Structure 1
Amino acid sequence: MGVRSAASLWAAALLLAGCSAEPEPAGGVTADEARQLNEAAAMLDANSMDANALAANASDTR
């Protein structure tokens, strides 16, 4: 086996290693990522304030 043949086999093996049987859908998230996003949304909801309450407080300080 020559150097060129070995290099060709090595390159082919590297290219095939990058292929997977099931490609992930574009823009999709894993179950763990979805859980983390849901937890972050819950934290934001828990810390959010009503815009009307903010406007009332701003007008009271004038």
Structure 2
Amino acid sequence: MFRLSGCLIAVLLLAACGQPDPAPGPGGVTVGEARALDQAAEMLEARPEPTASTAAQAE
């Protein structure tokens, strides 16, 4: 039991060692949030444009 709780504490402490990302980036979001938004925008731009028949089916 002590071994498991010791491992859990070690994992939690190591997880907290990552560099913080609180610095505001463009638009008042953090740098990590801005990076995630950029990745999402790239994914949306990579999608093919819907054709007229597909757009008509969606309505």
Q: Same fold (TM over 0.5)?
A: no
For normalisation by structure 1, the TM-score amounts to: 0.37
Max radius of gyration: which structure?
1
For normalisation by structure 2, the TM-score amounts to: 0.39
> Which of the pair has the greater relative contact order for Cα pairs under 8 Å at 6+ separation?
2
